[in-house]
Structures are given as structure tokens and as C-alpha cells.
Amino acid sequence: MKIEIAENLIYSYLKHVEGCRIVQTNWKTSNQWKITEYEEKQSRELFEKINNSALFQGIFKNNSFDQLIKQAEIDVIGLNTTEKSIFGIDVAFHAAGLNYGSTEETALRILKKIFRTVFIMQTYFSDFDKFNSFFVTPKVNPSTEKPIRNLIEEANKIIGDDMISIDFVANESFYSSIVDSTIKNIDDDNDTSELFLRSIKLLQLDKRVQSDNTKKDYTKRESVYTKTPSQTNKREVDGMKIGQFVQYNMRKVYEQNLASKDEIQKLQDKFYSKKVFDQNYEILRSADKEITGNDGRNRYYAKEKFFGDYYLNSQWVERHWEPFLSWLRKINKNNAP
């Protein structure tokens, strides 16, 4: 059996950095799984949207939506159940650098893989709120990386949905976002079933003294490649990412009776929610109303009610940290003795 160290690295990354409680490598579908038209609705609509765009027209060549889904395979998949967020990561480890032919062909092939992973996750995990599709590789030539990133930027504009995150992680961002973050988060973990974790523990046993000429500081890497911000760099407060942090603190605000009746009423107002939290949906929605958006997708945490009889907005992403923290500070200040 062939062992892919890059996939094992991503396995550990999803588990220890992204907080995924379920992670699997080489994920594939079963022919026995029944997918209804309702479950595939959002992914089919996105497929048509991308396929009909001027930039990506023909990217799927002669593949129909059904063919792409039947070919469903993801190198590593992870489920963060507290955030209702799913990660699908395809990884390529080429010592000579990523190359699928010409620069244009390589870029389009990467985007096709990223899009297909989004379709697969939306179809088979339609109950999740956030979909993250990344293509990861440690090495790629700058002349190839630039057009890929340009296509990623344009693809995000076409998708136009904060709940769908796509990214290309390579070169410096591969080591800073994936490798360094994983090593940092596994210091106290001794699960020897994880190959990457076990290999790092092995290297940490090396107590040999190196001369100044040979000693390397891997925490200060210099790269000839372009450094670009990656969507894999996510903020945490008290070990919680944005969605979990919001839910936890909204429970505390309710339990400690910190929000006035007037504030709870404001949280049900769409304009107030946009102004204060930069949210496109009201923060609280009455239990007697629909919790889906115009596109039919669930936009609220459906398994729990907040503030007695309301559903809480589930559309939290990185840009919402400061607005929510600012609101939380204001609420706590108003209730200070």
C-alpha cells in the first residue's frame, strides 16, 4: 500500500489546526448512496454558473455535472462539526514542482479540481454551512503560481458567497500556514497513529549539537516565491474559531441576561445586523420564520434556539471577528457595575 506523506500532513493539519473531529484520507463515494434533486440543487446551480461564465466556459470540457459527481474523490476530507464547516483538500507533492503541462493547462486543471471538490461537498454534505476547497502543494514555479492565483481571485468573484472558500496553498504559504501551524499544535499530542506527527516526534528526539554553520532555523524561512495571504490562516480566541466563539458567547449573553429587550429586537433587524456585524442576514430570526435564504440554503443554526425562541445566524467568517468582538465589548460594558 502506497503511503502519501503529504496526505498524512494534511490529515494532521485538519485535525489539530482546523479542529476537524472527523478526518479521512482518500475519501470516495459509494454507488449505493442515493442523492436527491434537493441535495444536489445548490451544487448543480453553482456548476451552471461557473460553466456559463466567460472566463471558465469549457473548463469542464465534455464532463456533465453528473459525471463530475460520479468521479467523486477527495484526497483528504475533514468535518468541523462545531463550525458546521467541511474541508476538501487535494494535495500534490512533486519534488520538481507542480506541472500538468503548459502554464494555462496547469492553472485550469487546478481550478477544475477545486470546483469539483466544492460540488462534491455541497452535494454529499448539504447540511453543512461552510465549504472549504483547497489545492495544496509545497512547490510551484512563480510563473505557474501567478495565473492560478489570478483565476482563484476571479473565481471568488463569480461564486460570490462567503460560505464557500477556495484557495491555492503553495510555496511559503504551504510551510507557514500548513506545516508550521501543524507542528505548533501537536506538541502535547502523542497519537502515534498519525504518520506525520510520528515523524516529527522522531526528529525531535535528535539531541545532537549542530555547529553554527550547519544549524538551520526553520521558523524563519526565506522564499524566492511570492508571498500571498492564504485563507488557511484563521484567527482563534480561547481556542475557538469564529462560529464556535459566537455561539458560545451568545449563550453567555443570554444566560447572564446581558442583552436588553431592545437589543434583542435590534438583532432581528436586517439593517442593524448589516451595520453592526456586517451580516447579510439578521442575527436572530424568530422560530416561526424560515431559516433559509432566497437560494434555499440554511443560514441559521437549526439544532438550537438562542435567547429563548430564536435561531442564530450561522454565516460567520473571518471578517466578522472585529464587528462581533466590538459588539460584545459594548454589551459587557453596558452591564458593568
> DSSP per residue over 16-39, as a string?
HTS--SEEEEEEE--TT----TTT
**Hey, what's the cell of 183?**
507542528
CB-based burial, 115-150: b 16+ in 10 Å, e otherwise: bbbbbbbbbbebebbbbbbbbbbbbbbeebbbbbee
DSSP label of 126: T
> In the chain, which stretches have pLDDT less than 50?
1, 211, 213-229
3-class secondary structure, 302: coil
Listed as own residue / partner, the contacts of 251-256 with beta carbons closer than 8 Å and 24 or more positions apart are 251/306, 253/328, 253/331, 254/306, 254/307, 254/308, 256/335
pLDDT at 189: 67
Instruction: Specify whether the CB–CB gap between 178 and 169 falls below 8 A.
Output: yes
pLDDT at 123: 93
Q: Who's near 119: CB < 8 A, 6+ residues apart?
A: 43, 46, 47, 65, 68, 69
Instruction: Specify whether the CB–CB gap between 310 and 289 falls below 8 A.
Output: no
The Cα 306–Cα 30 span in angstroms is 37
Condensed to tens digits (0 to 9), the pLDDT of residues 272-296 reads 999 999 999 999 999 888 888 777 7
Condensed to tens digits (0 to 9), the pLDDT of residues 13-49 reads 999 999 999 999 999 988 888 888 888 888 999 999 9
Q: Who's near 142: CB < 8 A, 6+ residues apart?
A: 224, 225, 226
Instruction: Specify whether the CB–CB gap between 6 and 74 falls below 8 A.
Output: no
Q: Who's near 42: CB < 8 A, 6+ residues apart?
A: 122, 126, 295, 296, 297
The Cα 84–Cα 28 span in angstroms is 20
Kindly list the distances between the CA atom of residue 11 and the CA atoms of 27, 181, 200, 291, in Å, as whole numbers in the listed order: 12, 13, 14, 33
pLDDT at 75: 94
Nearest to 118 by CA among 138, 98, 132: 132
Across-strand partners of 77? 24, 88
